[in-house]
Amino acid sequence: MTGLVVKAELHCHIEGAIPPALARAQAKRYGVDTASFIAGDRYVWHDFTTFMAAYDEAAALFRTPEDYALLAEAYLGELDSAGAIYSEIFVSPDHARTAGLSAEAYIEGLAEGIARAKDKSGIECRMIVVGVRHLGAEAVEGAARFAASRPHPLITGFGMAGEERFGRVADYARAFDIARDAGLGITIHAGELVGPESVRDALDEVRPSRIGHGVRAIEDLDLVRRLADEGTVLEVCPGSNIALNVFPDFGAHPFRQLMDAGVKVTLASDDPPFFDTSLAREYALGSEAFGLSDVQLREMTRTAIEAAFVDEPTRQALLAKL
């Protein structure tokens, strides 16, 4: 039934959306051995650290603007087929630079793929530049300065991904100040690998309108009330959380508790092929694991579009499609 529900996605890392078969094809072109991180049609990893290592290896196989154009076009085509009308992708200039591609060329390639997808299906997409937390505060400030220079109109947000157990949120506050001052939307990964204190620090130090994951806020009901009161939107990625063992199974996942407590929740796929998921599967889980009706799923899509980092005319046009 959820196939009929109009969808929107606020949380997908474009490097995390590389299908293993495409990574293999890229590796063949560039003469890279994938044995350490792909087996058959699956990425090989067993915890967050080895997941990040496999992710970095896959990202390093994308080296030209056209490589990224094809990736963005393919991912958005898949989303369109699943009924999505809007997507935000996290983009990481640090990963591009490691692969020998300038941040500018990387963004141009992605923007080309986004434009091709929009021409084909009408799907809207925006880019959120992310800094990589475990590269340190200076690197994250560099990513923020790049985003704040507003190198492309489709870049509308700034965020931070990577190893949440590295450093303290306060170390990164300046990066977020730079991005906020430039008018970018703000989101931050928190409450995924670390508990409620990480979410509280994110709220206090960064003042985001959205939090990536945030699900471990459930360990502190005062914090859950604060999220509800302040209207902070959570980009919840249940398939990712179970794959990374943040919770043992969907029965233990707090999506429904957060929603019932009045927290604004949305569903997203994070790094779909790494976690055997897709936006379609996350919406199906919304129904099958969390008991949401199609009407509730559609309302959740509305929450996502209301929280999207887009200009008002685009937001209104998207809302009119619901």
Residue 93's binding partner out of ligand ADE, Zn ion, none, with CB under 5 to 8 Å set by partner kind: none
d(CA 231, CA 140): 26
- Cα–Cα distances (Å) from 295 to 173, 233, 288, 289, in that order, read 38, 19, 14, 16
Q: What's the CA angle centered on 307, arms 304 and 309, to 5 degrees? A: 110
Query: Is residue 90 within a helix (H) or strand (E), and if so which, with residue range?
Result: strand 84-91
* Sole binder of ligand ADE in the list 270, 273, 285, 297 (CB under 6 A): 270
What is the four-CA torsion angle of 222, 224, 225, 231, rounded to 10 degrees? 140
Per-residue mark of binding to ligand ADE, 146-165 (x: CB under 6 A) = ---------------xx---
**270 has binding-site annotation:** yes
Residue 17's binding partner out of ligand ADE, Zn ion, none, with CB under 5 to 8 Å set by partner kind: none
Chain center to CA of 109: 19
**249 has binding-site annotation:** no
Residue 162's binding partner out of ligand ADE, Zn ion, none, with CB under 5 to 8 Å set by partner kind: ligand ADE
> Minimum Å distance from CB 40 to ligand ADE?
22
Q: Which is catalytic among the residues 124, 141, 164, 192?
A: 192
Q: Is 271 one of the binding residues for ligand ADE (CB under 6 A)?
A: yes
CB nearer to ligand ADE: pick between 48 and 182:
48
Question: Going by C-beta distance under 8 Å and a sequence separation of 6 or more, which residues neighbour residue 318?
Answer: 8, 85, 86, 124, 305, 308, 310
* Contacting range for Zn ion; rule: CB under 5 A; set: 152-160, 169-177, 269-277, 298-306: 269-277
CB nearer to ligand ADE: pick between 67 and 271:
271
Q: Contacts with ligand ADE in 227-246 (CB under 6 A)? A: 240
d(CA 300, CA 60): 34
CB nearer to Zn ion: pick between 15 and 270:
270
CB nearer to ligand ADE: pick between 85 and 95:
95
> Minimum Å distance from CB 135 to ligand ADE?
12
b/e per residue, 27-50, with b = 16+ CB within 10 A?
Answer: beeeeeebeebbeeeebbbeebee
Q: What's the CA angle centered on 88, arms 83 and 92, to 5 degrees? A: 140
Neighbours of 173 (CB within 10 A): 16
> Minimum Å distance from CB 279 to ligand ADE?
15
Q: Is 270 one of the binding residues for Zn ion (CB under 5 A)?
A: yes
Residue 192 among the catalytic residues: yes
Pairing of strands 7-13, 84-91: parallel
> Minimum Å distance from CB 322 to Zn ion?
25
Cβ contact 61:39 at 8 Å: no
* Sole binder of ligand ADE in the list 192, 201, 235, 282 (CB under 6 A): 192
Quote the tokens at residue 184: 């970018």
Under the rule (CB under 5 A), what is the footprint of Zn ion? 270
Residues that bind ligand ADE (CB under 6 A): 13, 16, 55, 161-162, 189, 192, 240, 270-271
Q: Give the annotated binding-site residues.
A: 11, 13, 189, 270-271
Active site members? 192
